[in-house]
Chain A
């Protein structure tokens, strides 16, 4: 394995983790939008706030990590993507601001109408951001981002059938991951009613995402034949694995095995993210730009890999502590302190 391949794998792992972790946070925002009115809606929203509050910032950093590794390891690809896809990426960036800031503001405000305004901003940008990021993925995967600065079509590069599919699948995947994770949290923290509410939506979203993905095959066949070929040949095992994990998740949801669902749902998403990578390897910008032609100087690749390795050694235990700490109950419960 060359240093370039290794960095590509690290980059893609970062992207996968962003999809699995931050994706679920965006999905939680999606459900915040559709949580309903009144006391029941409030309970569902409180659960979302409670669960993603401590972790969303850390989950969000994976995106920065991916951007930095991309411009360090494959600078010309970064420049081509960012310059041609200026419009959707600017909108995604604004969505990121709206989501994060409004979430923090809602938590800090106590006046109902403000909570509603911040909550609506949080929820709407949680839907728009994944859409634009998915559209960007569709633009790259369908070969609409040529090398060079802003050489692609500034609108049609990301406003086309594959990008629509990417955007809708991104929203659906985020929403699905969120419900798959939230079922267990709901049962533990908020009771069976809330858990059942999320379970029904997990089942429904799972089916919808599956149908969209199947229908997407037809879209890709006509709109992105290169990607279609890759997905149906070299990446086929991963596509099948994703489908199997998806069906398994639905069965486990039906059986209310919420802990296992987390793993199968994450596996389904991981398999399709890597399926995309395998389908277009070694191209970074299909149809012609290879990773090898775009990669940075050997010294840069090696030093970045070393820094990433050392950084990960410090980061992973910290991250694990964060995620585990807030899965446990508080040390001294508020409930116990109150009369």
Chain B
């Protein structure tokens, strides 16, 4: 019988399986969630331009994106639900004790998500039931609650890095202060960084679809606008994001030095700490890395004499795996600056001759940017989550003590991984079909989502 899997004894493999399953579900959902945060605003902007200018292409793009939004929101909603299941299925040791401490931002997120779901329903299905003005206005609560959900849910993650708002007396939780837990020191750096990341993923991701079209010679207004508007938006956000990232990293120097030491592979506390790019952690130091003298000290405190805490101050059992965290960080930063350069390229060309760069390489890189932006996002989450290990709640609760002691978590991982594989293939396939259908149809097109009553119900 299939229960053989379940009859196995508890194993350390189950902890690994639980972490893999959480990483997979979270890493999958976060990309969808980004579109939930960013796409409503972009779509509404197109709809508004369509009404203002009367250009059919704006309206056609708004219709097309709202159709994609319908799919992305549905898949995002269910993949997000799984996460709230997994909080308990995989980490009951965390939730059973601290669920009440971080419950408030989740409750707020629940409402924000609820309002988003209601207005997404109205927006997607309301094209022919509301006046154009009212329809456009219904996108406002969608966009606002999307950003709000991201804020609330990242507040909970910030708390895992900077646990506040409770006292532990003899291992028992007392005097919980939910608002203090929610607005902890990590809240500002983390939420700002994540919301801007969501805008970048949406902008570069959407633009990439039309960059492909432009590369294939479809240089009509529809494709140019579909590329330019989201790309410009993301390119404007990029420098802000680099500043926000700098703020988040310097925040770590003060509040979570063990994570910064893992990110930068700093073995010894001291001043004049160099910045390492690339490399692997071997025998207690970063090898094969490009070294910039005094770089980290300068970044943290603006002068070479700035003291940076190293891993020597962290007990061996409490250190995060350096190579993974360090390389993920470098990848994220590298992509960030690459995207900045791409934005500057467009800005320069546009300033000189009001047009896209003529080089096909520009468009190829823009297609790549659509994949690189989510890759940077994932790397960032690897830095946050792996960099916090071995703690699930920094300094308070170890991940190994939070995991569900039930045997057979590996079986769950296999099932979930298979499901997500199918889900990925289907999502990509359906989105591609939507994009293609948009190209083939003559704008203006039919109202999205709403089935034609005459054909659906004779």
User: In whole Å, how far is B264's beta carbon from the nearest beta carbon of chain A?
Assistant: 36
**A189-B99 in contact (CB<8A):** no
Asked whether any CB of chain A lies closer than 8 Å to the CB of B229, the reply is no
> Any chain A CB within 8 A of the CB of B169?
no
Say yes or no: B114 contacts A58, CB within 8 Å. Answer: yes
Contact check, B456 vs A72: say whether CB atoms are below 8 A apart: no
Q: Which of A148-156, A230-238, A280-288 lines the interface with chain B? A: A148-156
Chain B 380-435 residues near chain A, CB threshold 8 A: 404-409, 412, 415-416, 419, 423, 426-427, 430, 433-434
Within B117-148, the residues touching A (CB, 8 Å) are 117-122, 124-126, 128-131, 141
Contacts of B270 in A (CB 8 A): none
Residues of B close to A89: CB separation below 8 A: 85, 88-89
Cross-chain contact of A325 among B73, B129, B409 (Cβ < 8 A): B129
| Chain A min CB distance to B372 (Å) | 26
Interface string of A296-339 (1 = CB under 8 A from B): 11011001100110010011001101100110101111110010
Smallest Cβ-Cβ distance to B426: which chain A residue: A105
Contacts of A84 in B (CB 8 A): 406
Interface: B452 (CB within 8 A): yes
Q: Is A299's CB under 8 angstroms from B89's CB?
A: no
A93 to B416, CA, bound (A): 9
Q: Which residues of chain A are within 8 angstroms of B96 by Cβ–Cβ distance?
A: 75-76, 78-80, 149
Residues of B within 8 A of A58 (CB): 114, 117-118, 121
- Chain B minimum-CB-distance residue to A92: B85
Which of these binds chain B: A46-54, A173-181, A249-257? A46-54
Assuming the A-B contacts A69-B107, A89-B85, are A334 and B452 also in contact, with contact meaning beta carbons closer than 8 angstroms in the complex? yes
Cα–Cα distance between A321 and B96 once the two chains are bound (Å): 37
Q: How far is the CA of A49 from the CA of B457 in the complex (A)?
A: 11
For A55, list chain B residues within 8 Å (CB).
121
Chain B residue, CB-CB nearest to A151: B405
How many residues belonging to A are interface residues under a CB distance threshold of 8 Å?
83
Residue among A54, A60, A149, A338 with the most chain B CB within 10 A?
Answer: A54
Q: Which A residues lie within 8 Å of B217 (CB)?
A: none
B115 contact from A79, A97, A314, A330, Cβ within 8 A: A314
Q: Does A90 belong to the interface (CB within 8 Å)?
A: yes
- Closest residue of chain B to A318, judged by CB? B118
Among listed B54-62, B170-178, B295-303, interface-contacting one: B170-178
Residues A23-71 near B (CB distance < 8 A): 43, 46-47, 49-50, 53-55, 57-58, 60-61, 63-65, 67-69, 71
Cβ–Cβ < 8 Å partners of B70 in chain A? 104, 107-108
Q: Which residues of A contact B82 (CB under 8 A)?
A: 93-94, 96-97
A-B contact count (CB 8 A): 284
Q: A105 vs B141: C-alpha distance in the bound complex, in angstroms?
A: 25
Task: Select which of A46, A65, A155 is within 8 A of B3 by beta carbon.
Answer: A155
Residues in B neighbouring A72, C-beta threshold 8 A: 99-100, 103-104, 106-107
Contact status B122-A54, CB under 8 Å: yes
Residues on B with C-beta less than 8 A from A333 are: 128, 453
Contact B121 A104 (CB under 8 A): no
Restricting to B63-103, which residues have a CB under 8 Å from any CB of A? 67, 70-71, 73-75, 77-82, 84-89, 92-93, 95-101, 103
Chain A minimum-CB-distance residue to B121:
A54
Complexed CA–CA distance, A98 and B93 (Å): 28
> At the interface, yes or no: B284 with Cβ under 8 Å from chain A?
no
Residue A73 is within 8 A (CB to CB) of chain B in the complex: yes
Q: Is the CB of A314 within 8 A of B456?
A: no
Residues in chain B near residue A219, CB distance under 8 A: none
Q: How far is the CA of A4 from the CA of B275 in the complex (A)?
A: 53
Asked if A100 is an interface residue, CB under 8 A from chain B, the answer is yes
In angstroms, Cα B109 to Cα A61, docked, is 11
A274 within 8 Å of B by Cβ? no
B108 sits at the interface (CB 8 A) = yes
A82 within 8 Å of B (CB atoms):
yes
Residues in B whose Cβ lies below 8 Å from that of A303: 104, 178-179
The answer on a CB contact under 8 Å between B433 and A61 is no
Q: Do A71 and B408 form a contact, CB below 8 Å, given A61-B110, A79-B99, A303-B178?
A: no
The answer to whether B111 has its CB under 8 Å from any CB of chain A is yes
Listed A/B pairs (10) with beta-carbon separation below 8 Å: A49-B451, A55-B121, A75-B98, A75-B103, A78-B88, A78-B96, A154-B408, A325-B126, A330-B128, A334-B452
5 smallest CB-CB distances across A and B, nearest first, come from A72-B103, A82-B88, A79-B96, A75-B99, A104-B74
Interface residues, chain B, with chain A CB atoms under 8 Å away: 3, 6, 67, 70-71, 73-75, 77-82, 84-89, 92-93, 95-101, 103-104, 106-111, 113-115, 117-122, 124-126, 128-131, 141, 173-179, 404-409, 412, 415-416, 419, 423, 426-427, 430, 433-434, 437, 447, 449-454, 456-458
